A and B are shown apart, each in its own frame.
Chain A
Amino acid sequence: MAFSNKIPRLQRALALTDRGYRSLKGAIAACTLTNLALMVPFAITVMVFGVVLMRLTGQQVDWQALWGLFAAGVLGLLAVFLCARNDYRRTYVTAYRETEATRMGLAEHLRRLPMGFFNQRDLSELTENLMGDVSSRESLMSSTIPQLAASCASTAVVCAMLALFEWRLALCVFATLPAALLIVLAARGHERRLFERQTGARLEATARLMDYVEGIRDIRACRQVGAQSAPMRAALGALRDIAMRVELAVDVCVSAATTVLQAGVGLTVFVGTTLLTGGEVDFVTLLMFLLIASRVYGPITSILSQLPNLLQLSGRTARLRALADEPAAAGTGDASGLGAKPVELRDVRFSYGAGGGEVLRGVSFRMEPGTVTALVGPSGSGKSTVAKLVARFFSPSSGSISAGGADLASLDEESWLKNVSVVFQDVTLFDDTVMENIRMGRAGATDEEVRAAARAAHCEEFVERMPEGWATRLGENGARLSGGERQRISIARALLKNAPIVLLDEATSSLDPENETLVQDAVSRLCAGKTVLVIAHRLRTVSGADQIIVLDGGCVAERGTHADLMEAGGLYARLVRIQTESLGWSVGDAARA
């Protein structure tokens, strides 16, 4: 999908595929043909004038000739019909096919982007790219761009023909065009700035609304309902005000330009009657120009009024291009079998984005196959980041992570991920059946295998309580499930996948007392015989780990087994002490305090 610089400007401006660009040119040609066919009625009307006016000079009217012109007119009507049908088909087919091609192309491209891209981008913006931006380009392609280009072409043809006929009147008709264009162009910079502000205001208002909806419980609890929510009201008000200013600027500019343009009718009447009086043009010529002047401005006016839309489109297509130009994930190496080898981090440094500070500042450790490594430390110490780097959601800024000696960065992302099961706290569920949501773990797993994994993860109890059992759809992002149920589905997926490396957030296993032992049991099954990296919150859980890495401020502060670390009396020992106190805490303490 990458666009090189050799691509024609129009194609690049609209972010079109090669095929789409060719069809668009075809559609423009077809529209131009229709516009030219629409000249036939004018030509015949002018000839009718000629025949009728003969009588006024004393000659006989040739009624036969009029019938002949009528017959020609009917043929002209047929021609208009056929041309219009042709351009209609071409423009719509072009627009919809191109929309499809672009959506498919972008969707295919998204597949190839590195995981880090999705973790750092606002996903609703990506959706807007695929849907909104492509849709607005579609409507411009089906109903605006071919017609506009064709109008330009046919107006030029008409202009040239009229000039050959009677240049002074042709000048009257078209003299106002440059002035009108000048007005539109002069206002362009101002409008562009307003459009940018409007886009900003719209994004802000949408974000505030979403914030409001997602935080509705807090909104209710804090009595900030509806207009009482000052940030939302302010954002909506700002959007309304800027929208009105944009409208004012655009409408005034387009109206002024149109008025100037259409004043050409008056000019033609002035100059035409003067020339007629002086005997310099004949009456049929004047009539022809009056006829043209009454109709020629329509298409040009629509060009003028569509220009602002085209300006806005350029912002949207720029976003499409930026997305298409996003580099795909690097690394092509085959990672099969590497999951059973030791994984080693060497002096890994990492920061999210350019602005943020370093989250990891030189982390090194090694995980032997089949052993458990626990990451502990205060929040913000970089525990989750380490796990995400091993999953290759991101790549280290410097240093390396290798498996069996092969640098992860050189491996194909999907190939590496086949070796890894990830059980983190945020579980993404799909609006599909429970069965399919678990089958995500391994495409092609039989229903029996899915059930077995679900049983092992203790999903069966709640799944069978659901209205349609295994065939129950979970709704948007699994809205029907509780946190604990979501986590068990996540574990079931991982069990089904049965990858040699397990990355686990231990918080996942802390639930209600009732479920806790069940889930712990499931986690134990998942981890048996695997290379496990666990982010631990409850230190007791990992006291049996083969090695404990204590992170603090992005560095490894301590490492060793539970016994080693307790003996050392450092950070780990302190954390264990705090936690023991916490576990003894109860609400009654508040009353006693």
Chain B
Amino acid sequence: MSSAAAKKQRPKYLSLPAILFQIRLPLPGRVSILHRVSGALLVMPFAAWALYMLDLSLASEAGFSAIKGYLDLPLVKSGMLLFIWAYSHHLCAGIRYLVLDLNRGIDLRPARASAWAVLVVSLALTAYFGWKLW
């Protein structure tokens, strides 16, 4: 009865390739790893990028119009879209974790539903602010 499960070597920790390619994560798990990925992206490069744009745009009239022209470039707009998604996802997933920390919505069904909500709301926010940008 216990043989197969007991003998199976369990990994001591989960490597990044294992998380990415071997393990089929449930939806809350995907939201969780995206929370990590978006957090890492926000630290580097997006925080530096935001500071760069804030710096130039506040420095002078010329800098302000330079940033406006810069934001018209398709590659920059795509980067901004990813920035907006990372911020939205990190914020929405973060609010979900704060609520979970208060022991609310921790059963399977509401936890799955809120994970869905995080994905949908953050994509909707990205679409809205992306549309504003374009």
- Do A and B bind? no
